[in-house]
A = this chain, B = another copy of it.
Amino acid sequence: MTEMEIGVIVGSLRADSFNRRLAKALQQMAPEGMRFKHLEIGDLPLYNQDDDANPAESVRRLKSEIQSADALLFVTPEYNRSIPGVLKNALDHASRPYGQSAWAGKPAGVVGASIGATGTALAQQHLRNVLAYLDVHVMGQPEVYLQVSDASFDGEGGIAREDTKQFLQGWMNTYAAWIKTFISR
């Protein structure tokens, strides 16, 4: 079987974002045959329907990257009990113009890290609502609501705690099986 390409979308623009670090840690756990590509969303303009006929270069690039990906991985914080605006802006851009969405049919996983205990559950719920509408096939279980701090990561960017590492390894294995369900049909 040929390699699968996974487009990774991080919901925070912060340089030292915990979710960016979680995304990298997860990639280290992937089984053979999965290649990850970071999809940049920080260079997009604010979405304006008046630009549908003539989208910015960054929008064209993002849509092209999504379309060539076999699957998607969303790693996102929670802002104000919902999806970060910057992530929703990317979702909106790549869904437009009407009838030319780049999202439809992609299998995906959603995970999130936060410093608080509630742990991105509400952001992920709204994100799942949006992705269902966009016909992205999001894995249901296991959920990942990770409470993190600097101590959660080791010197190589991996996960420090053994039990968390094993939980995330299990998630990655289930995710790999999930996306293969859709790619091979």
Contacts and interface: CB of A to CB of B under 8 A. Distances in A.
Interface of A: 12-15, 17, 42, 44, 46-50, 79-93, 95, 104, 117-119, 121-122, 125-126, 128-138, 140-141, 143, 145, 147, 181-182, 185
A55 to B, nearest CB: 14
A92 B118 CA distance: 18
State how many copies of this chain the complex holds: 4
A161 to B, nearest CB: 15
A132 B138 contact: yes
A109 to B, nearest CB: 12
A67 to B, nearest CB: 17
A137 B44 CA distance: 32
A118 B49 CA distance: 20
Contact of A128 (B48, B79, B93, B132): B132
B92 A46 contact: no
Given A13-B50, A118-B119, A82 B130 contact: yes
A117 B118 CA distance: 6
A86 B48 CA distance: 9
Given A48-B42, A125-B125, A129-B122, A85 B86 contact: yes
B140 A135 contact: yes
